[in-house]
Amino acid sequence: MWKWFPNVLTAILFLSFTATQALAAATARLEQNGFGSGPIEVISQDGVSWTGFRDAALTLPVKVFVGISNTSSAEYDRAIYTIFQGAEELISKSVPNGTEHTHELTGSTENLSSIDRIAILNLCNAKLNTGDGINQDHTAMAAVTVRISAVFDEVGGIFEFDSSSADFGPVENSGTVGVPVKCVGIPEPEDATVAFKVNDIDLSISTPSNATTQPNAGTVCNKGRLKVRVATTTTGPAKFKLWKKVGGGAMTAKVINAYASDDGNGGFAAEHVEWISVNKTSQVQAKAEDMVNTIGESTGWKTKMLRCEDGVGGGITSDLPNPDDPVPIKKLAGDFSFIDRGSPKCERTGHALINFTNVPSTANAVHWSLDCHTGAPGGKHFSGTALVVNGPKGRVAPDTVRFDIAKTTTYKCALKTVSPGKAKLHKLKGHKFRCFDSTVNTDVNDLTNGSQPDPVVDPDTCKRTEKRIKIRGKWTCVPKDPVVIADPIRCKRTEKRIKVRGKWMCVPKDPVVIADPIKCKRSEKRIQLSNGKWACVPKGPDLVVDPIKCKRTEKRVMVRGKWVCVPKGPDTISDAGRYTCNGGRVLFSRARNATPFCKCFNRKRKPVKKGPYIWVCEDTTPVAVGDPVKKQPCKNGRIVRGACICRSNANLIKGVCTPVNVVNKRLLKLKQAQEKKAKALRRLKLKQAADKKAKTLRDTKRLKLKAKQLKLKRDADKRAKRLKAKREAAKRLKLKQAQQKALRDAARRAANGNGTTTRIKTR
C-alpha cells in the first residue's frame, strides 16, 4: 500500500494541469508550458469601475500529450488533436500515438470565455480600494482557459484529417495558462485647462468566423460585432448617439454614455461594443454621431451583410430587394442649407451643409463648386470633393463649407456640380449673417472740460421699423422694438455684467468685488480720470479735472474748476479767480501789481481778449470766404466766437455746463461704492483662507485613517500565515504517523506468514 501512496499525493498536487481520462485507455493532457504574454488590458467605460477589454493578441504556451493503449482487438498509431480558446480553433495537428508536443498558441481577448471575463473583471474591481483605485494602473495574473479534443485511428486504416472518420474518440479535456493582466487606470488630468472635446469618431461592423447564432435547429446565421471608437483630447465622458437599422425593421436611435481613458498609445479614447443577431439574411446599417462638440462629428452610414444558411448550405429568405425587379433611374440631386450659430455676435463662423443624393453607382465622389456673391469685388468661391457613402435611402455625398463672419454680410450662393456627368446648376439660396456689438461707452466719470465734435451721421437712412445707433464709432440700423445688441459674454443668474477698463466681466450680484487697480498713500485719495485710468491726488477738496505740473517757483491753484500755476510769493492778486483763458492758462507776473496774461496750449493759436477778464485762443489762419463756421454744443452757457463760456460755479462737461456741486456728489457716491467693494473683498479672502485650512485638516485625517487600515491588514496577513504554517505542520505529522502505521502492519503480516516475529524499530 505504501508504494502507491506517493503517486496519489503527486496526482493531487498536479490536478489543475493534468487531464481527466475521457475513456479508461485514452489520454489527452493539456498543461501550461510557462507563462503567457499579452497583457490582457482591462479598461473602464464609465469612469467608476473596470467594465471591458481592449482587443489584443495573447501568446499561450502549452504542452500536449495524446495517447491510447493498444488492446487485443485493435492497435492505434495516429492521433488528431485540436486546441480551442472559447469557440475559436487555434491549432489542429496529426501526430503519432503516445507523443508529447509543445506549442506557442496565438489567442485573443475576443475569444475569452464568459467565466474568464467575469473572473478577470472581478480581479481588477477588487483593487478599487487599493492605492488610488481607478486612477492608477494595477497588475495581476489571471488564468485563461483552453481546451483540447483528440481522436485516434487504427493501424492500417485509411487515415483522413477529419475527426468524424476517426476510429476512437473524441477525448476532450481543458487546462489553464497564466497570463498577465493590466487594469488600465484613468489618470487625473495634469493640466486642468485642457478642454475636453472629441477629435474623431469611428464605427466598424465585422463578422467573426466563430460568432454565429442558430435561430432554429436547421439554420445558422452570422453574428455582427459593432464597435464604436471615440478619440478625445483627455479623459472624460464621451457621449454619442448610435443609429441602427437591421433589415426591413424600423430605424432605432439611442444615446451611449461612454468614458474616455488612456488608450496606451499616448492618446485618449472610449470604446463601445455590441453584438447584432438576425434570423434571416439581412443588411445592417449603423451610424454614430458625436454629442460633445458644438458641431458634432459623424461616422456616416456603414453597412454589413449578415447571411444565414440552412443545414445543406442553402440561403434563407432575406430582407434584400429582388434583383429581377426593375430599378427606377434617379438623377443626381444637390441641395445645401445655411447654419448660423452664435448670431448676432461678431467674429464667428458660419456653415453651409451640402448634400448630394441619388449618386450613380459608378461614381465614388462628387466634384462641386459653391459660388457666392457678398457685395465685395469678386465675391467668394468654394470648391471641393464629397466622398460617397451609403445612406438609408441610397448613395449620398455630404460636405461642409465654412464662412468667416466679421461684419453683417449677405451671401447669395449657387451650388453646381462638375462631375459625375455634365456640369449642372442644382440650387440657388441666400442668407444674411447679421453682426451686432454692444460695446458702448457708458463711463460717467469723463469730466474733461472742453469741447467735443459733432457726430458724423451716416448718409444711409434706416427703415421705419429700425432705428440708428452708434456702435464703435459707426452708425448701424437695428430693429426699434426690441433693440437687439449681442452681449459679448454671458453671466450666471447670481452674477451681473459690468465694464472694467473697456472690457466686460462677470462679478457676483451682491456684493460687487472689484479690486482697485492702484494703491495710494494715506495723505492721498484715488480718483478715476476721464480716460478711464486711476490717479492719486491729495485728500483736499474733490478734484474735477486732471492736475497740471508747475515749475519749482510756482504753485498750483484752482480757478473756476481749472488748475493754474501762479508764483509761490505772497498772493497779492485779489481777483485771480475772475480771469479765464479758454484754450490756454492764465499766468501772473512776479512784479507787484502786474497785469495777468493768457498763454495758449497750441502755438498756432493766439489769445484774443473778449472782455476785461476773458481770453480765447483762436486760430490766426485766415479763413476763406464762404467756409462754414463749425458750431460747438453749449448747453446752459453762451457761445462767444465759437467757444462755450460757462458761469463761475459751473464746468463744461461734454458740451453741457454742469454745476460743481453735482459733480462732487457723483465723486462721493463713487468713493462710497469703492469702499464697499474693498470691504467685500476682505470678507471673501478670509472665507477662502478658512476653507483652505479645513480642507488641509480633512486630508490629514484621511491619511491617518488610511495608514491605520494598512497596518491592520498587515497584522491580519501575518496571523493568517502563522495559522497556515501550523496547519501544514499538523498535516505532515499526521502523514508521517500514517506511514509508520502502514510499515508496522506490513511487518506484522510478514511475521505471521513466516511463523516468526519481527520487531520494527521506528523513530
- What pLDDT digit, counting tens, does each position of 261-281 carry? 877 777 888 888 888 989 888
Least confident of 211-220, 342-351, 414-423, 458-467: 458-467
Q: Which residues of 1-29 are buried (b: 16+ CB within 10 A; e: fewer)?
A: eeeeeeeeeeeeeeeebbbeeeeeebbbb
Residue 754 backbone zone (phi > 0: left; psi -120 to 50: alpha; other: beta): alpha
Residue 442 pLDDT exceeds 60? no
* CB-based contact 90:106 (threshold 8 Å): yes
Q: Which residues of 449-460 are buried (b: 16+ CB within 10 A; e: fewer)?
A: bebeeeeeeeee
Band of pLDDT at residue 354, cut at 50, 70 and 90:
very high
Q: Distance between CA 153 and CA 79 in Å, rounded?
A: 6
| pLDDT of amino acid 563 | 78
| pLDDT of amino acid 330 | 65
Residue 115 pLDDT exceeds 70? yes
Residue 459 pLDDT exceeds 60? no
Provide the Cα torsion 749, 752, 753, 756; round to 10°.
120
Residue 421 pLDDT exceeds 70? yes
From 188, 48, 59, 58, select the one nearest 124 (Cα to Cα): 48
Arithmetic mean of pLDDT over the chain: 77
Contacts of 27 (CB under 8 A, 6+ apart): 19, 21, 65, 66, 67, 68, 171
* CB-based contact 458:472 (threshold 8 Å): no
Mean pLDDT (whole number) for 419-442: 73
Mean pLDDT (whole number) for 748-752: 90
Q: Distance between CA 137 and CA 184 in Å, rounded?
A: 5
| pLDDT of amino acid 161 | 40
Cell output for 226? 459593432
Residue 744 pLDDT exceeds 50? yes
List % helix, strand, coil for the chain (3-state, nearest 5).
15, 40, 40
Band of pLDDT at residue 728, cut at 50, 70 and 90:
very high
Q: Distance between CA 357 and CA 266 in Å, rounded?
A: 39
- What pLDDT digit, counting tens, does each position of 156-175 carry? 544 444 444 455 668 888 88
Q: How far is CA 411 from each of CA 345, 371, 398, 431, 432, rounded to the nearest angstrom? A: 17, 10, 21, 5, 6
Order of strands, edge to edge, in the sheet holding 580-582? 580-582, 614-619, 605-609
| pLDDT of amino acid 714 | 92
Residue 544 pLDDT exceeds 50? no
Q: Distance between CA 20 and CA 15 in Å, rounded?
A: 9
Q: Is the bond preceding residue 170 a cis peptide, omega within 30 degrees? A: yes
From 231, 250, 244, select the one nearest 274 (Cα to Cα): 244
Q: How far is CA 246 from each of CA 95, 209, 277, 283, rounded to the nearest angstrom? A: 46, 20, 9, 6
Q: Distance between CA 32 and CA 178 in Å, rounded?
A: 8
Which has more confidence, 294 or 85? 85
Mean pLDDT (whole number) for 473-498: 69
Cell output for 330? 434617379
Band of pLDDT at residue 611, cut at 50, 70 and 90:
confident
Q: Distance between CA 559 and CA 580 in Å, rounded?
A: 8
* CB-based contact 289:296 (threshold 8 Å): yes
Q: Distance between CA 461 and CA 476 in Å, rounded?
A: 10
Q: Distance between CA 422 and CA 752 in Å, rounded?
A: 115
Give 449's DSSP letter: B
Helix (H, G, I), strand (E, B) or coil at 411: strand
Share of the chain above pLDDT 70, in %: 77
* CB-based contact 529:547 (threshold 8 Å): no
Q: Which amino acid is at 417?
A: T
Mean pLDDT (whole number) for 612-616: 84
Residue 689 pLDDT exceeds 50? yes
Cell output for 382? 468654394
Cell output for 18? 493534468
- What pLDDT digit, counting tens, does each position of 315-346 carry? 555 555 444 444 445 678 899 998 887 767 77
Helix (H, G, I), strand (E, B) or coil at 137: coil
Q: Is the bond preceding residue 39 a cis peptide, omega within 30 degrees? A: yes
Band of pLDDT at residue 709, cut at 50, 70 and 90:
very high
* Alpha carbon 391 to its chain's center: 28
pTM reported for the whole predicted model:
0.34
- What pLDDT digit, counting tens, does each position of 487-540 carry? 467 888 788 888 776 778 888 775 434 445 678 888 888 887 766 678 888 876
Q: Which of 170-184, 306-320, 379-393 has the highest mean pLDDT?
A: 170-184
Least confident of 73-77, 648-652, 701-705: 73-77
Q: Distance between CA 710 and CA 700 in Å, rounded?
A: 16
Q: Distance between CA 518 and CA 638 in Å, rounded?
A: 39
- What pLDDT digit, counting tens, does each position of 222-258 carry? 889 899 999 988 888 888 899 899 988 888 888 888 8
* CB-based contact 300:242 (threshold 8 Å): no
Q: Distance between CA 404 and CA 352 in Å, rounded?
A: 12
* CB-based contact 369:416 (threshold 8 Å): yes
Provide the Cα torsion 662, 667, 668, 669; round to 10°.
90
- Contacts of 419-422 with CB under 8 Å at 24 or more apart are 419/363, 419/366, 419/367, 420/332, 420/359, 420/360, 420/362, 420/363, 420/366, 421/332, 421/360
Cell output for 193? 485647462
| pLDDT of amino acid 727 | 92
Residue 582 pLDDT exceeds 60? yes
Helix (H, G, I), strand (E, B) or coil at 99: strand
Order of strands, edge to edge, in the sheet holding 389-391? 333-339, 348-357, 394-405, 389-391
Residues paired with residue 499 on neighbouring β-strands, in sequence order: 504
Residue labelled with grid coordinates 465685395: 376
Q: Distance between CA 253 and CA 264 in Å, rounded?
A: 31
Q: Distance between CA 216 and CA 278 in Å, rounded?
A: 11
| pLDDT of amino acid 96 | 85
Q: Distance between CA 388 and CA 399 in Å, rounded?
A: 10
Which has more confidence, 213 or 345? 213
